[in-house]
């Protein structure tokens, strides 16, 4: 198995254990859809690049004050409206945890359609449940039905859909997220306090979540992320 950065494949003592591992598993499972020349739209540090066997991997991102791009692997910046590529320049597109930060999503979907070849695939992940982040550029949370409508209006057809997370793992993730955000910077200053804090508020809740998730009936009406593979069927160029 190809490895990725441990921050995106965290241990059970990590505050983002459920969301990061759920996304990792989902992207790895669906990576085979993406071939040829790939654009990672909103690439950041390209955390999932190792999962893709492609001819060329190009990272595109947008400069904004809510998300500094230090130590990231961006090849091309775009202006928030127009992608600086010719029509049908890419065989596939990855777009992970980006749509919630795009205010003009219908417009951007048309741009993604324009630069993708007909029958090319786009792999999308975006949160259904998460706190405000990268403020002020945090605009939306989408249901699967909203995403289906937006994609179909932009010339795409969904070929694969799944959810990352369920009621139990999402609830557990929200508990650890609360503690990591509420006391950010305080508990990290003293080594012993840091590990006591991690044990009590990350490890213990995560272990309980894992156990309950195995013992109790599954319910995914509350979940962390949408994971979609869509195919370009209509050209909007």
Closest CA to 102 of 85, 72, 78, 122: 78
Mean pLDDT of 34-41: 98
User: Per-residue pLDDT for 66 more than 60?
Assistant: no
What long-range pairs does 3-11 form, CB within 8 A, spacing at least 24?
3/50, 4/47, 4/48, 4/49, 4/50, 4/51, 5/45, 5/47, 7/47, 8/47, 8/48
Among 48-52, 53-57, 122-126, 195-199, whose mean pLDDT is lowest? 195-199
User: Per-residue pLDDT for 65 more than 70?
Assistant: no
Among 4-13, 34-43, 65-74, 80-89, whose mean pLDDT is lowest? 65-74
Q: Residue 230 pairs with which residues in a beta bridge?
A: 122, 158
- The mean predicted confidence, pLDDT, of the chain is 93
CB 111 within 8 A of CB 85: no
- Percent of the chain at pLDDT exceeding 90: 81
pLDDT, tens digit, for every residue of 2-26?
A: 678 888 999 999 999 999 999 999 9
The pLDDT assigned to 190 comes to: 77
CA atoms of 38 and 196, how far apart (whole Å): 43
**Reported confidence tier of residue 236, pLDDT bands at 50, 70, 90:** confident
User: Per-residue pLDDT for 233 more than 70?
Assistant: yes
Q: Residue 124 pairs with which residues in a beta bridge?
A: 95, 228
pLDDT, tens digit, for every residue of 168-222?
A: 999 999 999 999 988 777 667 777 888 888 999 999 999 999 999 999 999 999 9
Question: Residue 44, by phi and psi: left (phi above 0), alpha (psi -120 to 50) or beta?
Answer: left
The pLDDT assigned to 160 comes to: 98
CA atoms of 198 and 205, how far apart (whole Å): 10
**Reported confidence tier of residue 70, pLDDT bands at 50, 70, 90:** low
The pLDDT assigned to 207 comes to: 98
The pLDDT assigned to 173 comes to: 98
**Reported confidence tier of residue 49, pLDDT bands at 50, 70, 90:** very high
Q: Residues 148, 149, 151, 157: is their CA dihedral positive or negative?
A: positive
**Reported confidence tier of residue 1, pLDDT bands at 50, 70, 90:** very low
pLDDT, tens digit, for every residue of 128-143?
A: 999 999 899 999 999 9
User: Per-residue pLDDT for 231 more than 70?
Assistant: yes
* CA terminus-to-terminus distance, the chain: 38
CA atoms of 35 and 120, how far apart (whole Å): 8
Q: Pairing relation of β-strands 156-164 and 225-232?
A: antiparallel
Q: Compute φ and ψ for 155, nearest 5 degrees.
A: 95, 20
Mean pLDDT of 65-85: 80
The pLDDT assigned to 64 comes to: 63
Distances (CA, A) of 156 to 22, 61, 160, 231: 25, 22, 12, 5
């Amino acid at each position: 198995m190809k490895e990725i950065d441990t921050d995106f494949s965290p241990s059970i003592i990590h505050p983002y254990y459920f969301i990061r591992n759920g996304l990792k598993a989902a992207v790895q499972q669906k990576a085979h859809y993406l071939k040829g020349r790939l654009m990672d739209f909103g690439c950041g540090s390209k955390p999932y690049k190792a999962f893709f066997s492609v001819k060329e991997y190009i990272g595109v991102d947008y400069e904004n004050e809510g998300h500094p791009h230090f130590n990231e692997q961006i090849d091309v910046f775009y202006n928030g409206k127009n992608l600086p590529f010719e029509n049908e320049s890419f065989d596939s597109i990855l777009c992970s945890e980006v749509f919630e930060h795009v205010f003009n999503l219908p417009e951007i979907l048309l741009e993604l359609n324009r630069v993708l070849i007909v029958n090319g695939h786009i792999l999308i992940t975006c949160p259904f449940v998460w706190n405000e982040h990268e403020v002020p550029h945090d605009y939306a949370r989408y249901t699967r039905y909203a995403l289906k409508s937006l994609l179909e209006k932009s010339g795409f057809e969904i070929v694969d859909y799944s959810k990352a997370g369920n009621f139990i793992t999402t609830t557990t993730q929200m508990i650890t997220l609360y503690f990591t955000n509420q006391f950010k910077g305080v508990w990290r200053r003293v080594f012993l306090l840091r590990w006591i804090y991690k044990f009590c508020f990350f490890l213990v809740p995560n272990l309980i979540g894992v156990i309950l998730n195995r013992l109790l009936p599954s319910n995914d009406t509350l979940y962390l992320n949408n994971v979609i593979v869509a195919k370009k069927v209509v050209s909007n160029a």
